[in-house]
Amino acid sequence: MNSIIAVVLLSTGVLFNLLGCIGLIRLPDVYNRLQSATKCVTLGTCSILLGLLVMYGFNDIGVKALISIPLLFFSATVAAHALVRGAYLSGVKMDKRTVVDHYKAVRDGVAQSGNEKEGREEELYEVS
Amino acid sequence: MENALTILLYIQIGLCFFCLFRIVRGPTIADRMVGIDIFGILVVGICGILAIITDRMFIIDIGIAWIILSFVGTLTLAKYLEGRKLNE
């Protein structure tokens, strides 16, 4: 019974990985590719490790799989976020069909208010 | 049971070739880095399935080490892509 549930979980994980990698090939833009691939592949690999836990129970191998689930979850999402920020700042163009770009407006607002803050900080340093 | 796991392992290895295709044919340098990142996560899944098939428990240790190394490597590549020096 445990092995059947484990094989179902493993199959679900490999199916998610397959869909994520098809998105990695087919989508038109680096941002779309990274969004599709990172979410699907992270969830699929977590499902594979959960299947490992179900098959072996709370042995040492199952507990190692259970430990590596949150490790993978946080590290993969943080790495993807840093990568997409680097891609945006290095000037990779978006696709022509892109509708909205909120990050540009946010960055412009931050730049303006940042200049004001720098001025205030200089005044503070002069006073002190 | 064994056949099903072997088929899943072969599918998972075939997915790595999708990532290699994206690394080879990426139009920009960010696409290649996305391919490297996804490749690192897929190898962890391969390690998990291989640990069940061969019934040896040290392979999952390789998976944990691969997660951490892939994380550090991707952060370094992202910092290089952003245009900053690596010793800041």
Q: Is A17 on the interface with B (CB under 8 A)?
A: yes
**A87 with A33, same domain?**
yes
- CA distance linking residue A11 with residue A30, whole number of Å: 28
**A87 with A125, same domain?**
no
- Percent of chain A past pLDDT 90, that is, above it, reads 42
User: Which pLDDT value is given to residue B1?
Assistant: 75
Q: Which of A16, A21, A46, A96 to mutate to test the interface with B (most CBs of B within 10 A)?
A: A21
Low-confidence ranges of chain B (pLDDT < 50): none
**A105 with A89, same domain?**
no
User: Which pLDDT value is given to residue A128?
Assistant: 43
Supply the DSSP symbol for B57.
T
**A22 with A75, same domain?**
yes
Q: How far is A100 from chain B (nearest CA, A)?
A: 21
- Cβ contacts of A86 on chain B, cutoff 8 Å: 30, 77-82
- CA distance linking residue A42 with residue B42, whole number of Å: 9
Measured in whole angstroms, how far is the alpha carbon of residue B58 from the centre of its chain?
18
Average pLDDT over residues A35-52: 92
CB contact under 8 A, B71 and A79: yes
Q: How many domains does chain A have?
A: 2
Residue A102 phi/psi, 5° resolution? -70, -30
**A50 with A69, same domain?**
yes
Average pLDDT over residues A56-69: 89
pTM assigned to the model: 0.83
In this prediction, residue A100 has a pLDDT band, given cuts at 50, 70 and 90, of: confident
Domain harbouring A43, CATH code: 1.10.287
